[in-house]
A and B are shown apart, each in its own frame.
Chain A
Amino acid sequence: MRRLPLLLLAAALVIPLLVRSEYLIGTLTLIYFFAFVGQGWNILGGYAGQFSFGHALFFGIGAYTSSLLFVKAGLTPWVGMWCGAALAVLVGLVTGHLSFRFGLRGAYFALIMLAFAEIFRVAATNLDWVGGSFGILVPLRGHAPALFQFGDKRYFYYIILVMLVAACYGVRRLENSKLGYQMAAIRENESAAEGLGVNAYQVKLTAMALSAGLTALGGSFYAQYFSYVDPAIGFGPANSIEILLRPIIGGAGTVWGPLLGSFLLGGLGEGTRGLVKSYAGVHLMIYGVILMGAVVFLPHGVMGWLRQRGRRG
């Protein structure tokens, strides 16, 4: 079992060399991508137990910042994505400070994050200098690696793979760090954790900052991959749902959860695509059913189910 991650990584590394199918590469790229932003959500929602229903806020900030800096100032998205992450961290600290300072928990926290994301969506829709309701088209420059643009989609595959591996490795380290244990303590019982001397405010704020930055990097990647972002794609509630869905299905608060959830949903999405191509909304309808089913039958995600089986067997 210990070697499983390395085997998977080796397989992921050689797949594009062995398979020429653009379809497969594209599908895997998106699976890795959703696992990556899911991992971002997972730090705050899964490990620290603060469910955000508005993570599109950070995703959108990342996508918009790198795209705007490129379009308006010619700055390469390689730098722009870090500016986006920095801005998202800043916004995360402000929203986090407000929410945690005033002791918002549970549903109230979920709702206030939704409201923050909605404010950004409405603002982006109404501000012409960020593209208004039309959004931003990232101008194509052909194969320009220095500008985060590639003639071959396999470059994107490797980039998101590196990002994902780094995120998973980082979260794995976090899990076994002092901060990780403090986050888990807060998730399980915040008052008790505080009684033992954990500074809940500070720990949650740190989780928020890490989570926001990671999610924003994912947003920048998305904007470069599709060369496009608009207010709904960036900040919309549907995106917030997409972000939290995979870690929830796979198992929130576990390293493998977002990855597992992303593979399950990605496989399902592709499997049903042929069937439902002409019907808009079907995949979200299925997500709705899966979400309801998961809450009832897999309250701790697939990872929780696997662990329980492992314990029994």
Chain B
Amino acid sequence: MSSAVVLSSLANGVMLGGLYALVALGLTLIFGVMKIINFAHGALMMWAMYASFWLAKLGGVDPYLSLAVTLPLGFAVGYAIQRAVITPVLEAPEHNQLLMTLGLALFLENLALLTFKADPRTLLVSYSQASVSLGPILLSLPRLLAFAGALAVTLLLFLFLKFTDLGKALRAAAEERDGAALVGIPVQRVYAVAFGIGTACVTAAGAMAVPFFYVSPEVGNTLVITAFVVVVLGGMGSFAGALAGGLLVGVVESLGGLFVHGSLAQIGIFALFILVLLFKPSGLLGTPSA
């Protein structure tokens, strides 16, 4: 195995990791603010992928351009889900919250199965097969774009949380719900905004994945488990952790694919997940909680 192959695989792993990071970012945001683990996150991404897929297939809209439609839509859907589905269980025991998002995931996933049938579909855009060479390294262009997009979204989100009033309100509600309510922050609305943004993140990830990833009703299932791994790796609720975790998982998967065939590389990721859960459940970058 030449070093160029390994380097290219490493680089493509980093690119893929950027996308995972974006999926995990939405998940970690929702968890950080509401302490809710959203099992439906992958199903929402799958719907976003279908939206971008059909807009491209039927309307000829490039997946990146389709974001102009799907991003606001994703936000609205997330906002509505928070209001209709999550609010009733905010005070419920943790396992009932889990079951709620699990039920939502089942519903969304099988609605897609019913609507689009089980066959995986792939979208070919002009740059699907394009690649960029960087010295000896060969980078897939759609992955590079997704990586850049993921970084851009992460940066935007960071700036939003750091400097806008809404972002500050969001952090306040995450930190101390009752205190935030006491100083006049409309906590319920802020929660809905957080879920909306989380869903918008995964919508962006979906659109960026479409040029190089198949779409099927089950694709969310695969991705959400990866996203859980990323979130736990990085530390639940930690942004920098989601980014680092995403890159790590992308690299492990990509390099693993060089040495073992097929889906066996996934075992490495699950094993990593279990190890982190056991030895550092607060994540690599998270702060230990009480």
Contact = CB atoms under 8 A, between A and B. Distances in A.
B266 to A, nearest CB: 5
Contact of B266 (A122, A281, A291): A122
B127 interface: no
B282 to A, nearest CB: 10
SS of B interface (majority): helix
Contacts of B96: 295, 299
B106 A241 contact: yes
A149 B110 CA distance: 34
A228 interface: no
Interface stretch (A107-115, A218-226, A266-274): A107-115
Given A279-B114, A285-B114, A292 B274 contact: no
B106 A291 contact: yes
B135 to A, nearest CB: 35
Interface string A223-252: 000000000000001000100000010000
A295 B221 CA distance: 22
B98 A110 contact: yes
Given A112-B277, A115-B270, A119-B267, A295 B114 contact: no
A285 B264 contact: no
Given A111-B232, A119-B270, A280-B114, A288 B278 contact: no
B267 A107 contact: no
Contact of A102 (B103, B221, B266, B278): B278
Report, as a range, how many residues of chain A touch the other chain: 35 or more
A119 B263 CA distance: 11
B75 interface: no
B33 interface: no
Given A107-B37, A118-B225, A281 B217 contact: yes
B104 interface: yes
A99 B277 CA distance: 9
A7 interface: no
A122 B100 contact: no
Contacts of A289: 103, 107
Given A291-B102, A296-B88, A107 B94 contact: yes
Interface in B264-284: 264, 266-267, 270-271, 273-274, 277-279, 281
Contact of A288 (B103, B279, B281): B103
Nearest to B229: A115
Contacts of B110: 281-282, 284-285, 288
Nearest to A283: B110
A279 B267 CA distance: 33
Interface string A80-111: 00000000000000000011001010111011
The 5 A-B pairs at the shortest CB distance, nearest first, are namely A288-B106, A291-B103, A288-B107, A281-B113, A281-B110
Interface of A: 51, 53, 98-99, 102, 104, 106-108, 110-112, 114-116, 118-119, 122-123, 125-126, 237, 241, 248, 279-282, 284-285, 287-292, 294-296, 299
